[in-house]
Amino acid sequence: MATKSGFTTDVGNGGETHQHAPPSGAATSDGHLTTNQGIKVSDNQNQLKSGERGPVLLEDFVLREKIFHFDHERIPERIVHARGTAAHGFFELYESLADITKADLFQRAGERTPLFTRFSTVAGGAGSVDTPRDVRGFAVKFYTQEGNWDLVGNNIPVFFIQDAIKFPDLVHSVKMEADRGFPQAASAHDTFWDFISLMPESTHMIMWAMSDRTIPRSLRTMEGFGVHTFRLVNAAGKSTFVKFHWKPKQGVASTCWDEAVKIAGADPDFHRRDLFEAIGRGDFPEWELGIQAFDQAFADSMPFDVLDPTKLIPEEVLPVRLIGRMVLDRYPDNFFAETEQVAFCPANVVPGVDFTNDPLLQGRLFSYLDTQKSRLGTANFHQIPINAPKCPVMNFQRDGQMQMTVPKGRANYEPNSLSAQGESGGPRECPAHGFTTFPSADAPTEQGDKLRLRPASFADHYSQARMFYRSLDVAEQSHVAFALVFELSKVDAPAIRTRMLGNLINVDEDLAARVAGGLNMPLPAANAAAAPVLDMELSPALKLVRGKRDLHTLKGRAVGILVADGSDPATVQDLHAAVTEAGGRPLIVAPKIGGVTLSDGKMLAVDKQLAGFPSVMVDAIAVVLSDDGCASLINDGAAVQFVMDAFGHLKCIAADDGAQPLLMKAGVTPDEGVVAPNKGFVKAAGKRYWDREPGVRKLPRAQS
């Protein structure tokens, strides 16, 4: 029965009375949000800071309760970034950075620091596929001589939200919907777009998420970013702001959407397998570490706040300085012990690297540690070999579940005077070389009242989204429009779609018109913007298609050579040799794995069976067939699809005379990407043919 308090009472078997309160954290009967203790929350959008741009205060119990509860929602799988793979390697410094940082790993040119790098998707669980449209995690653990430094970022330089208090809301919205448990590893559903449409600050990140950046061809061909603005501090105590970039030496490459979908069906472990096999054959992936270093005067000159994690500094404004390289040369010996148990934390820094008041970073500094203790089940997770520093560890922390060290002596506190009595008094603090926080308390913006608000400098949510979209190649712009139409077409609530269109108008009216046309919806008025939308200078460095990182090379990439009985051995041999010489990986594909008999009567070994190896698995194809061999394949659906998909996915196709009927049936029309199987194929095979795209797939066009 109901009581005056709004509680209900039940009588149990023993006659006792039980009271059932409304669900914790839910809205009360009067519509107010509360903490789990029933305290009404006045602001669920902003952390408590000292001054509007100051550091976050530990006393913010609303933030702590919300983040801690979120951190403990999944055991033992990671809440986000559950689907991942990793590798061991090293970082080699190009030149000393002693002028801007005292961090030991940046002092001596040529010195190598061991590291462990984990790549991951964000939204899906550990059993999801590798190739959904999703942000990719890019986390590096440096085992330096002064302790572990974790650079925990993504393959995108900005993020969805400005304040860490919104992180549980973001992840709850993008994860499978709470009542039905799906979709898994996909963002095309109501709850995600409802949240995004109500959070204009997410608009810049959405442009990246709907671009080709979130469907990478491989982990080896994607960039990485530290996302936040950090500090470097030198021996004299001088601070320099810094943003970190990872630039792949293999070039940046992505898939087409149709290709990504088909890869997921053909090989759910595509990215994991690619990294494993590349390292296994000695084709070690490499990235160069770059920095954008700047001072306060430069920061003040920008038309945005450098502490806003939804903003980037264009490379044309501040070039990226390449300071070293990362080489991944060893796959883990045991996936669980290393890849699954590795624990990254942005708070793991070394002397010479420090934080800023970026409100998203500030929340991550304590959230990650709490998460790792929950997920790994012990406060001693740092003793697991993959997490353990490779330098001495000395402190007074004792006991705890799974304690694996055996400290000696009776003093487990400090200060103590036992060393004066001939006993070991244990380690002592080191003012000369220990980590010291950069003393920025004299900055005016870090003093003031305790506040929950966003600074006015964080209010521009559309200018950089506009810059990003307009900087892309026309093909990439079409892909963004297509992705938005695809995603919003899965949204059932028309009001959410309308709200998103209102946001998109502030980014680019042509983009909004394309999406509205693709949805067959009227274009609404633009949503109100909190700050004027600026037309910033375009940044060509943001382009993937026909950009400076769109490398036309076969190095590290795969070519499928389709053959059948009767194929010409000289042509096959020459193609195989040319691709190998170019650093590519030739794979012989045939109807049966047992081999084929070539026209000289000799048996050729086969790498892949046609029906189980579609052309989405390679970067280019060559088709070498006799007349009889082509006749045997022309009615084979797998063979027709092999060629059709390669053409539709804008890949180079080499074909001899005998293969022409198969090409005709697959709908291949001649262009510069359809070539003869000679040495010229290698040069042609290293790129995609974007001008072909309008003829092979329908993309949203702007309304007239």
- Residue 81 falls in the annotated catalytic set: yes
148 is catalytic: no
Are 573 and 604 contacting, i.e. CB atoms less than 8 angstroms apart?
Answer: no
Whether 67 and 370 have beta carbons less than 8 Å apart is answered as yes
Report the 3 state secondary structure along 90-132. Answer: EEEECCCCCCCCCCHHHCCCCCEEEEEEEEEECCCCCCCCCCC
One-character DSSP codes across 15-61:
S-EEEEPSPTTS--TTS--B-TTSPBPS-SS--EEESTTSPBPTT-H
Q: Return all residues near 680 (Cβ < 8 A) that are at least 6 apart.
A: none
Tokens of 253: 């490459």
Size of the chain in residues: 704
Whole-number CA gyration radius for the chain = 28
Query: In the chain, what is the straight-line distance between the N-terminal and C-terminal CA atoms, in Å?
Result: 63
Both tokens assigned to 417? 């005077």
HEC assignment per residue over 245-259: EEEECCCCCECCHHH
Within 8 A by CB and 6+ apart from 14, the residues are: none
- The encoded tokens of residue 440 equal 């920025």
Query: What is the C-alpha separation between 324 and 115, in angstroms, rounded?
Result: 13
Which H or E element spans position 660?
helix 660-665
Q: Which of 618, 625, 620, 554 is nearest to 590 (CA)?
A: 625
Cβ 555 vs Cβ 582: under 8 Å:
yes
Q: Which long-range contacts (CB under 8 A, 24 or more apart) does 374-378 make?
A: 374/71, 374/72, 374/75, 375/74, 375/75, 375/76, 375/77, 375/78, 375/343, 376/76, 376/341, 376/343, 377/76, 377/401, 377/402, 378/402
Closest CA to 380 of 350, 343, 410, 346: 343
Helix pair angle (359-376, 167-174), 10° resolution: 60
Q: Are strands 286-294 and 239-248 parallel, antiparallel or unpaired?
A: antiparallel
* 602 vs 565: CA distance, rounded Å: 10
Closest CA to 107 of 232, 238, 239: 232
**46, 81, 155, 479: the active-site residue:** 81
* Separation CA 698–CA 574 (nearest Å): 37
Closest CA to 194 of 497, 460, 530: 497
Classified as helix, coil or strand, 317 is coil
Q: How far apart are CA 279 and CA 331, in angstroms?
A: 7
CA 339 to chain centre: 16
Q: How far apart are CA 91 and CA 112, in angstroms?
A: 5
Q: Determine which one of 46, 148, 154, 380 is catalytic.
A: 154
Estimate the crossing angle of helix 167-174 against helix 190-197, to 10 degrees.
140
As annotated, the active-site residues are 81, 154
